[in-house]
Chain A
Amino acid sequence: MNTASHQTDLKPHAAGTDTSVLSGAEVLLRVLAEQGVEVIFGYPGGAVLPIYDAIFRQDAIRHVLVRHEQAAVHAAEAYARSTGKVGVVLVTSGPGATNTVTGLLDAMLDSIPVVCFSGQVGVPLIGTDAFQEADTTGITRPATKYNYLIRRAEDVAPCVHEAFHIARSGRPGPVLVDLPKNLMVGPAPYSEAPRVPHPSYRPQTEPGREVIARAVAAMKGARRPLFYTGGGIINAGPEASAALRKLVEKTGFPCTSTLMGLGSMPAGDRRFLGMLGMHGTYEANMATHGCDVLIALGSRFDDRVTGRLDAFSPGSFKIHADIDPSQINKIVPVDVGIVGDARRVIEMMLEEWECTPANTRQPIDMAQWWHQINEWRKTDSLGFVQDRAPGAIIRPQYTIRRLHELVTATGRDTYVSTEVGQHQMWAAQHFGFDRPNRWLTSGGLGTMGYGLPAAVGAQIAHPDALVIDIAGEASTLMNIQELSTIAQYRLPVKVFILNNQYMGMVRQWQELLHDSRYSESYSAALPDFVKLAESFHGKGLRATCVGELDGVIAEMLAHPGPVVADICVAQDENCYPMIPSGAAHNQMLLGPDQDDEISAEGRMLV
């Protein structure tokens, strides 16, 4: 294909726009500005040099230099998750693009709006195994909501506009735009965002009245109802969480949440039962098992939530609202499927609840249900025993509880990211989230190494907020290079490591499923995290016993710059409660003393 012929085909600029000829790179930046982009997380390289040159010659959009392309995507995810805007990534061709794959898939599974721009070799070189060439659209096709390889200069502006529309609308997700170098150097026409709808992509956001009415009719007749809410509520914006709180208040129904939905209900609300699923609370899982009407809002019946499928919430009337029609009836057959944006679904449920006749159910029925739930609550499934002697070993649950209490005492707006593993579950269980968009974690993909770059993204988006990466020592080493980014931009991120010298969740499963053969799960040859922090121009702190914990947390919170806090916790602690693999919600393990055999089929499951 001859690029010169495309360039001579260029249409004249639209009336009213700048008459000077823009390069493709300048058109790209102009479109980004029009799309409201303020920050790009990226890493330069040969194929994107023209774009970096254009970035150098403007100051409307800020560029944050990460230390690895995967981290750029995680930072953009956290930026998006914590602001509701689209996160933007810029990387070079070949290895730059392939390094983003984990991040893109992470954003795909957690429905995070991200647009990733990757450089590509010039159009004439595509397909020749040129230096740093990769079939980026081929590689990222199953890891993105949509992707583009732009081949003509006149496609740059329309495709970039469209990429943002696709990333943020419907069920949000990552979109990749592959930009051949010659198109960025040569002239390209600018165009504004199109006003006509996309020809084929038209997500349904407005739910049907009739299905809402059927759902509310079932809710009105419920004796043991339960809301089961997920990340879709967070994606639908803070208004959706506000509407949910109102709906829970009006109906008086109990509410549980998935990992991704934490913060949509205040953790301390009396109607909130905590997280459900594999490491959910006893009351949340027993209520899921025992409810007669289950109302799933923006959640997707993930296997971490359902446990054994044929025993999941048996006998309940199931209502499932999701913006993605393919989620309905995917795992669990439901009685009423509602396609629509979570905020609109909840708002319409509220309207319908108010205007339909009085309940057919007696108040006494709900009282019995709440009585049952409060009995389950007495199990105190998140309970633990902490020896308060100053020299005692610190238990990880206690660490999170103290962190939460001391953070709350500061009164600061706080964003928490995590890595993946036991510390992530303990954070979900013990750090109470009261507001949406404050909890940044890798749920669907379970990406170790997510938390540190995510903290970078959150701190860039909220420079005055308190940003804490609750980490494990193994996960955090997967993207530890981002301490350099943190140093460069003087980000006051707090890396709070629960250091048990094991890949704790792997070790826990080996203990439970493989007779304690701890194959390769010991974190040997760990760095000295205090010195590591210092070498990256930060403050390093360590607590080795209960007596040191509060002081270290207080010092960390008081320090104006970046801190790595190495909290040496009990090595053999397991994350409970737990639904073992292949078990049902009413077969939870509450603690180490309960020695139930895990079935052979259970061992086959992840």
Chain B
Amino acid sequence: MTTQQESPVSAVISIQVENESGALARVIGLFSGRGYNIESLTVAAVDETRRQSRINIVTTATPHVLGQIRAQVERLVPVYRVAVMTGREPHVAREMALVKVIASGERRADALRIAQAFRAHPVDASATSFVFELTGASDKLDAFIDLMRPLGLAEVSRTGIAAIARGAAIL
């Protein structure tokens, strides 16, 4: 079968789901039960009445498995719509990170300078620490975190990806 020779690609699965207890558990239980991996996960209510939530899951899988993930998620009772966004589907994917750096002296100044270059905002500061807020594509966040590592990187909290298709197309 050709499907076994396909190489894995990274994808964001966006799922519009009824905002009910257990809906998220159904989706992530399906992923773990069928052996699909989850690299990041975000979920929040997105409509005005808070009746629907959007789940964004980043995964890596072959196109055949991505098709299976879509079909398996779509048949869950509380799921409205599913979009699978890979490099072939134009989309915007963003993530936010809060990065705590503990440093003083020259390293503190370096951290601030790099943060400016990355448009990371210091949202908390003490005599010995900063918390930077940074939004962007995941690889930009990775690059920033890597640069902070020798400068006193202490703690990272990331949101995981939120994604949406470019243009007028909607989920």
Chain A residues engaging chain B, CB cutoff 8 angstroms: 137-138, 141-142, 145-147, 149, 166, 171, 198-201, 309-310, 324-326, 328-330, 333
Contacts and interface: CB of A to CB of B under 8 A. Distances in A.
Contacts of A147: 22
B18 interface: yes
A171 B72 CA distance: 13
A309 B33 contact: no
B29 A141 contact: yes
B122 interface: no
Nearest to A309: B1
Contacts of B75: 171, 324-326
Contacts of B3: 333
B90 interface: no
Contact of B18 (A145, A166, A200, A333): A200
12 contacts: A138-B25, A146-B77, A149-B21, A149-B22, A166-B77, A199-B18, A309-B1, A324-B75, A325-B71, A325-B74, A329-B67, A330-B68
Contacts of A142: 29-30, 33
Interface of B is mostly: helix
Given A142-B29, A200-B17, 19 more contacts: A137-B22, A141-B25, A141-B26, A141-B29, A142-B33, A147-B22, A149-B21, A166-B77, A171-B75, A199-B80, A200-B78, A200-B79, A201-B77, A325-B71, A325-B75, A326-B68, A329-B68, A330-B71, A333-B3
Contacts of A149: 21-22
B14 to A, nearest CB: 15
Contacts of B26: 141
Contacts, number: 48
B74 A326 contact: yes
A85 B33 CA distance: 30
A138 B26 CA distance: 9
B66 to A, nearest CB: 12
A291 to B, nearest CB: 18
Contacts of A199: 18, 80
A310 B67 contact: no
Contacts of B33: 142
Nearest to A162: B77
Interface of B: 1-3, 17-18, 21-22, 25-26, 29-30, 33, 64, 67-68, 71-72, 74-75, 77-80
Nearest to B81: A200
B71 A310 contact: no
Contacts of B2: 333
Contacts of A330: 68, 71
B22 A329 contact: no
A324 B77 CA distance: 13
Nearest to A200: B80
Given A201-B77, A309-B1, A329-B67, A141 B22 contact: yes
Contacts of A198: 77
Contacts of B18: 199-200
Contacts of A333: 1-3, 64
A216 B1 CA distance: 25
A145 B80 CA distance: 16
B104 to A, nearest CB: 46
B25 A145 contact: no
A326 B71 contact: yes
A329 B80 CA distance: 22
